[in-house]
Amino acid sequence: MTLHKAPEDSATTRRSFVKGAIALGAAPSISAAGQQVPPPSATVDDRTYWIEIVRRVSQPLLEAVSRTQLRATMPVEAAPGLEEDRRKSTYLEAFGRLLSGLAPWLESDVHDKTEATLQAQYREWARIGLRNGTNPSSPDYMNFGATPQSVVDAAFLVLGILRAPRQLWELLDRNTRANLVKALQATRQVLPGQSNWLLFSAMVEAGLCFMGEWWDALRVDYAIQMHKEWFVGDGTYGDGAHFHWDYYNSFVIQPMLMQVLDTVPPRSAMWTAFKPIVLERARRYAAIQERMISPEATFPAIGRSLTYRFGAFHLLSDISLRRQLPEPVSPEQVRCALTAVMRRMIERPGTFDSKGWLTIGFAGHQPHMGETYISTGSLYLCAAAWLPLGLPPSDIFWSGPAKPWTEAKIWGGEDTPTDHASSV
């Protein structure tokens, strides 16, 4: 982390945080080949470190899809005996999920030469990937509509396009646009279950609306109506009629609900009235998420889909990108918390295979933590934590001095405001 002189108040606590931050970042990282490499220099700022994580995770995937080699080179790790079945969906999973997290950065203006060079390359590769992935004649066609899973990751792909409309839609050639529309329409044959899956269908319709195509307002309305009913209090929705102890409020529910309402025109007075409520609930859930990060930069390994790693903080990152963090959560403390979590997870031995692809696990390679629906492509939802890269380096999220996150303050003995449930 970038370290700055702490304010005079709570000086002892601040010094303790700085020491802890240095200790957390001092461990050597492990390269994709399993060799020990030096840790980042103390002079490397957080944004530079995030960009290096982006490069390590994204490079093998984007380079392969740009060469029409994704199917040929991407490994498919899955539960024993399910590898062939997961091949039907894993490539769209990988590409759609990666773009959903990369998109704000791809869309942003970057002035640092090194970062801008990487961004320009990834923009080009992403557009080539959209061309190859939606062309039925391409070896890397991504099987839209062929499996129920395809509606899930078509939705993540749409989420990326909506977060980078110029780079991932306006600059596409006419044939790719037409193929993309057909690919999304093909997923309509999937009947979503009574759960967060309703939002996948709604997101696809929102994407078609954005693209100027006919869209099914009933699918959108049903998803919105049901999530309005499924709210269980204090910034949290049930995944269906019941509350689940997992991270699906962040992985899917709240980011997609906000994006759908941001994208479609207000066909219903209920949609209009519900939109600010959805935002306030998301702000509360983001505050809860920030409090779940321990002073040691861990968070509870609870619920399903833990192999999405720091993708668990999709919503906290989304609210940061929107500059909607609630008091007293500051952008600087979120940056420091997310940096520490990502460093702790990404540098764990076994996170990457020998060729740089992500492996199944939460803290390293832990294949038994993968559910039957998990495969290599699933893991790229970790990219959802990178949304704040869409903020310029001058934004306080990046430029502000390092600050301890809430649990680091509390466990460091700092007097902090009490936490209260939301009434919205």
Reported as a single tens digit per residue, the pLDDT across 120-151 is 999 999 999 999 999 999 999 999 999 999 99
In a domain, 3, yes or no: no
In a domain, 416, yes or no: no
d(CA 369, CA 97): 19
Alpha helix positions (H), 144-253: 149-163, 165, 174-186, 197-210, 217-229, 248
Of all helices (H) and strands (E), which one includes residue 259? Answer: helix 254-263
Residue with tokens 């940056």: 335
User: Is the per-residue pLDDT at 177 higher than 70?
Assistant: yes
Phi/psi for 358 (5° steps) reads: -65, 145
d(CA 223, CA 201): 8
Q: Is the peptide bond before 28 cis (omega within 30 degrees of 0)?
A: no
In a domain, 49, yes or no: yes
With beta carbons less than 8 A apart as the criterion, state whether 327 and 334 touch: no
DSSP type of residue 108: S
d(CA 121, CA 98): 15
Q: Is the peptide bond before 328 cis (omega within 30 degrees of 0)?
A: yes
- Cβ count within 10 A of residue 207: 26
Tell me which of 24-28, 43-47, 371-375 is least confident.
Answer: 24-28
Residue with tokens 């801008």: 116
pLDDT at 74: 98
Of all helices (H) and strands (E), which one includes residue 332? Answer: helix 331-346
In a domain, 421, yes or no: no
Overall domain count for the chain: 1
In a domain, 24, yes or no: yes
DSSP type of residue 237: E
Helices (H) and strands (E) in the chain, counts: 18, 4
Contacts 24+ apart (CB under 8 A), 41-46: 42/3, 45/2, 45/398, 46/1, 46/2, 46/335, 46/336, 46/339, 46/398
Q: Record the pTM.
A: 0.91
Structural domain including 153 reads 11-411
- Least Cα distance to 372 among 312, 304, 303 occurs for 304
DSSP type of residue 372: T
User: Is the per-residue pLDDT at 389 higher than 80?
Assistant: yes
In a domain, 340, yes or no: yes
User: Is the per-residue pLDDT at 14 higher than 60?
Assistant: no
In a domain, 338, yes or no: yes
Per the prediction, the chain carries an average pLDDT of 91
Beta bridge partners of 29: 37
Beta bridge partners of 375: 78
Q: How confident is the model at residue 412 (pLDDT cuts 50, 70, 90)?
A: very high
In a domain, 5, yes or no: no
With beta carbons less than 8 A apart as the criterion, state whether 244 and 303 touch: yes
Reported as a single tens digit per residue, the pLDDT across 185-237 is 999 999 999 999 999 999 999 999 999 999 999 999 999 999 999 999 999 99
DSSP type of residue 9: T
What sign has the CA pseudo-torsion 280, 282, 283, 289? positive
CATH of the domain at 262: 1.50.10
With beta carbons less than 8 A apart as the criterion, state whether 93 and 147 touch: no
Return the exposure string of 313-344: e unless at least 16 CB atoms fall within 10 Å of the residue's CB, then b. Answer: bbbbbbbbbbeebbeebbbbbbbbbbbbbbbb
> What is the SS3 assignment for 43?
coil
**The two structure tokens encoding residue 226:** 């049901």
